[in-house]
């Protein structure tokens, strides 16, 4: 991938600092470029052209990346360490974890990396967050936190990983342990508060331990084979004293029901909406996609109940062709 060199050389990993073959491990990180059709549901929010990274996890050409890069992809190009571009095929996307699988449709100049166990990595441990391009696009980092992460787009991880310093090209990067195995996939740039210790800039990483329980379903069905969660099509932010509807997805259930950006979200099914994580857990505990959900909102000092007929988000998306 043609990116300016923004990583300080002092932060780049060096082969002599590790007991594994760093060059081989970094060769597993590929570049990904994606084109999305104009009629895609996510085109307006995620763009028609996307780029980032992925990690070769099987020598057959199977690549793990972050879903927002590849969701509804029409064309996928995979760029290996040698700069060779190979066509790819979207195999699967999992909304709950955020993982995506892509199959390279030709040989890659790369070595598959083995999967480690993110649960074994301790706070303060040194790791490598690597993008495509070898050592110049890899950064020595430290695991700063393991904790819950709630995203405004109706996304929740019970335990995400947070590393610092941040990688400037984080999407789909591979988090590599000191053993040389893959322990996570880079997702976001974050600014985190550390209480009295101030704050830090870093990356949120999806732990690799979430992949083994679902990978067979992803390869067979293109998604996890279970009943889908209810989706409201809302963007919910945590305000100073309450949750706020920051936006509604055009054409989604929330917009159809009459929710508006700026609504204060007071309760779900009569239960106070205290924070985003508890709100999402309550929503998903109500049943499958399609159920009606009563939200109590405050709009212009008036408190109103709005009934939202939830949906399966995947029904709005262009699906991978399972073969």
CATH number of the structural domain 118-210: 2.40.10.10
Give residue limits of the domains in the chain: 21-112+215-221, 118-210, 234-316
**Joined tokens for residue 112:** 């598959």
**β-bridge mates for residue 126, sequence order:** 142
**β-bridge mates for residue 247, sequence order:** 235
CATH match of 21-112+215-221 with 2.40.10.10:
yes
* Contact criterion met (CB below 8 Å) for 99 and 132: no
* Phi, psi dihedral angles at 74 (to 5 degrees): -100, -45
Q: Are 21-112+215-221 and 118-210 the same fold in CATH?
A: yes
Q: Is 207 exposed, middle or buried (0-12, 13-18, 19+ CB in 10 A)?
A: buried
Stretches where the chain sits below pLDDT 70 are 1-5, 193-198, 322-323
**Joined tokens for residue 107:** 């040989």
Helix (H) or strand (E) holding 187: strand 182-193
First to last CA, the chain: 29
Q: Return d(Cα 68, Cα 147) in angstroms, integer.
A: 22
Q: Residue 107: left (phi > 0), alpha (psi -120 to 50), or beta?
A: beta
Summarised one tens digit per residue, pLDDT across range 91-107 is 999 999 999 999 999 99
Strands 85-93 and 75-79, sheet pairing: antiparallel
| pTM of the predicted model as reported, rounded to 2 decimal places | 0.94
CATH match of 234-316 with 1.10.1740.10:
no
* Contact criterion met (CB below 8 Å) for 174 and 29: yes
The two counts, helices (H) then strands (E), for the chain are: 6, 18
pLDDT for 94: 96
Radius of gyration, CA atoms only, the chain: 20
pLDDT for 2: 43
């Amino acid at each position: 991938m043609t990116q300016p060199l923004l990583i300080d050389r002092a932060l780049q990993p060096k082969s002599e600092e590790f007991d594994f073959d760093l060059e081989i491990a970094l060769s597993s990180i590929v570049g990904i470029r994606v084109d999305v059709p104009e009629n895609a549901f996510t085109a307006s929010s995620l763009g028609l052209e996307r780029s980032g990274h992925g990690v070769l996890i099987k020598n057959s050409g199977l690549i793990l990346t972050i879903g927002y890069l590849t969701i509804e992809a029409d064309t996928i190009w995979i760029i290996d360490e040698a700069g060779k571009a190979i066509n790819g095929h979207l195999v699967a996307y999992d909304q709950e974890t955020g993982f995506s699988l892509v199959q390279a449709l030709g040989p890659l100049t790369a070595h598959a990396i083995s999967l480690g166990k993110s649960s074994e990595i301790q706070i303060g441990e040194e790791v490598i967050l690597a993008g495509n391009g070898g050592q110049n696009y890899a950064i020595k980092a430290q695991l700063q936190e393991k904790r819950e992460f709630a995203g405004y787009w109706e996304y929740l991880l019970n335990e995400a990983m947070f590393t610092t310093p941040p990688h400037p090209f984080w999407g789909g990067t591979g988090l590599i342990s000191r053993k040389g195995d893959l322990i996570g996939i880079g997702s976001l740039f974050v600014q985190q508060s550390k209480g009295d210790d101030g704050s830090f800039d870093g990356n949120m990483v999806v732990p690799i331990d979430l992949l083994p329980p679902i990978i067979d379903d992803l390869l067979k069905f293109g998604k996890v084979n279970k009943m889908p969660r209810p989706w409201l099509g809302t963007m919910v932010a945590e305000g100073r004293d309450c949750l706020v509807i920051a936006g509604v997805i055009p054409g989604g259930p929330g917009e159809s029901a009459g929710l508006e950006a700026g609504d204060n979200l007071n309760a779900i099914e009569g239960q106070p909406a205290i924070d985003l994580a508890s709100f999402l857990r309550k929503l998903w505990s109500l049943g499958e996609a399609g159920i009606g959900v009563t939200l109590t909102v405050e709009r212009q000092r008036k408190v109103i109940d709005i009934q939202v007929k939830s949906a399966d988000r995947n029904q709005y998306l262009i699906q991978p062709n399972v073969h």
